[in-house]
């Protein structure tokens, strides 16, 4: 049974890590939103003479706020939604004025329904409905052309920031997420190595918990792949690297789940084998665990590519107990999956050293 203090400490550490991760991924967009809002206000004030261009600043924030899958798509959707709401609001002003609530309800329903037909995201019907309500509530002098100009300024500033000044590297998005996953796996395999050296089944159980926490990083990687694809589709910088992004995203998408699952299965089989104490561990297991742990850490830290240890068939077929055989099987699956994440094999090294593919150099 896990002590209460240890349980609370682990959850506090996990919560702290999540908060720091969210802060690191959101503070840049928050800063960009603040700068863009001030810039949009200044531009709308000087170029159009709007005394209080609130909508320009708000539009910049709506386009650049943290957590959006695509800032460019958000900016386009904002402009389309506002334009739709203004047009519907202008048409609603032609209706009889005797029932204002009925007119607002009809205009809102119509604007949202029309905007939903575009299929451009939630921001479009939301802004269409808001614009229609504002048109009827405060009048076209404030919510009509004036607001549209402010929105164009704010969205334009947002597009400049998202497309030119602060465009993320889509390949870097995937790499960062993959490195986070590899770092957690490296800690898990290091704990397995320590448990094997000390023959400590409790530490093997802790390793299982470490691998379990890597699930959050797997979800982060999946979100990173989605963000990278959106970046490649909706930004200028992303379009230049769209083909490479597609290849990397497809490769990681296929193998990341396999790597996580095989690592978790290995840790569970390893803990079970160490607990049952049925025979000695395979002679090669310690070196293979150390190689995988060090390799995961090396890739996560941008060091040179690690090489998988060549394993002879005789090593796998050693007379070991069934629990250790299961460990070796899962370890082989882990090593196979890691090739996708940057590991090299002995065959790759031989090809690099001898381009003639096996011919002896003179």
pLDDT at 312 over 60: no
pLDDT at 318 over 70: no
Whether 154 and 187 share a structural domain: no
- Tens digit of each residue's pLDDT (9 = 90 or more) over 147-166: 899 999 999 999 888 877 77
Domain boundary among 165, 188, 206: 165
Q: Is residue 19 part of a domain?
A: no
Domain boundary among 128, 143, 165: 165
- For range 249-275, the mean pLDDT: 89
Whether 133 and 226 share a structural domain: no
At 336 the three-state DSSP class reads helix
At 311 the pLDDT is 59
- Higher pLDDT pick, 278 / 150: 150
Q: Is residue 358 part of a domain?
A: no
Whether 160 and 199 share a structural domain: no
Whether 116 and 179 share a structural domain: no
Whether 52 and 197 share a structural domain: no
Q: Is residue 89 part of a domain?
A: yes
- For range 217-234, the mean pLDDT: 84
Beta strands (DSSP E) in 20-100 are none
CA dihedral angle for residue 273, residue 274, residue 276, residue 278, rounded to 10 degrees: 70
Task: Specify which residues 307 forms β-bridges with.
Answer: 344
At 252 the pLDDT is 83
Token pair of 85 as six digits: 């709401």
Cβ burial 50-85 (10 Å sphere, 16+ → b, else e): beebebbbbbbbbbbbeebebbbbbbbbbbbbbbbb
Whether 152 and 196 share a structural domain: no
pLDDT at 359 over 50: no
Query: What value does the mean pLDDT of the chain take?
Result: 83
At 262 the pLDDT is 93
pLDDT at 314 over 70: no
At 347 the pLDDT is 58
Whether 320 and 188 share a structural domain: yes
Domain boundary among 121, 137, 165: 165
How many domains is the chain partitioned into structurally? 2
Confidence grade of residue 357 (pLDDT, cut at 50, 70, 90): very low
pLDDT at 319 over 60: yes
What span, in angstroms and rounded, lies between the C-alpha atoms of 297 and 290?
Answer: 11
Whether 243 and 154 share a structural domain: no
Q: Is residue 10 part of a domain?
A: no
At 360 the three-state DSSP class reads coil
From residue 266, alpha-carbon distances to 54, 58, 333 in Å are 57, 51, 9
- Tens digit of each residue's pLDDT (9 = 90 or more) over 61-120: 999 988 887 788 899 999 999 999 999 998 988 888 777 888 899 999 999 999 999 988
- Under a CB-based contact definition with an 8 Å cutoff, are residues 338 and 308 in contact? yes
- For range 244-272, the mean pLDDT: 89
Domain that holds residue 286: 170-353
From residue 194, alpha-carbon distances to 49, 153, 197, 205, 293 in Å are 69, 59, 5, 12, 11
């Amino acid at each position: 049974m896990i002590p209460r203090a240890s349980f609370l400490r682990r959850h506090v550490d996990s919560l702290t890590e999540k908060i720091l991760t969210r802060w690191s991924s959101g503070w840049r967009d928050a800063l960009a939103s603040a700068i863009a809002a001030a810039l949009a206000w200044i531009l709308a004030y000087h170029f159009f003479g709007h005394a209080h261009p609130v909508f320009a600043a708000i539009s910049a924030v709506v386009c650049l706020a943290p957590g959006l899958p695509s800032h460019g798509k958000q900016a386009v959707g904002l402009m389309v939604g506002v334009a739709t709401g203004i047009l519907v609001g202008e048409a609603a002003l032609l209706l009889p004025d005797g029932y204002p609530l009925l007119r607002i309800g009809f205009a809102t329903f119509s604007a949202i329904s029309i905007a939903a037909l575009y299929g451009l995201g939630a921001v479009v019907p939301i802004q269409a409905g808001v614009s229609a309500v504002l048109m009827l509530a405060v009048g076209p002098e404030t919510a009509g052309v004036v607001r549209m100009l402010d929105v164009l300024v704010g969205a334009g500033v947002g597009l400049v920031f998202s497309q030119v000044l602060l465009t993320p590297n889509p390949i870097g998005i995937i790499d960062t997420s993959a490195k986070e996953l590899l770092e957690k796996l490296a800690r898990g395999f290091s704990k397995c190595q320590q448990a094997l050296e000390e023959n400590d089944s409790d530490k093997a159980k802790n390793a299982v918990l470490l691998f379990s926490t890597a699930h959050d990083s797997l979800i982060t990687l999946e979100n990173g792949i989605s963000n990278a694809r959106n970046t490649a589709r909706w930004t200028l910088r992303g379009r230049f690297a769209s083909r490479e992004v597609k290849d990397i995203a497809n490769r990681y998408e296929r193998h990341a789940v396999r790597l996580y699952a095989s690592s978790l299965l290995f840790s569970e089989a390893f803990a079970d084998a160490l607990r049952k104490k049925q025979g000695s561990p395979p002679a090669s297991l310690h070196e293979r665990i150390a190689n995988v742990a060090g390799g995961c850490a090396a890739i996560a830290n941008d060091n040179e590519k690690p090489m998988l240890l060549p394993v002879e068939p005789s090593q796998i077929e050693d007379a070991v107990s069934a629990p250790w055989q299961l460990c070796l099987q899962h370890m082989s699956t882990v090593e196979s999956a890691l090739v996708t994440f940057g590991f090299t094999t002995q065959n790759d090294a031989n090809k690099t050293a001898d381009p003639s593919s096996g011919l002896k150099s003179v």
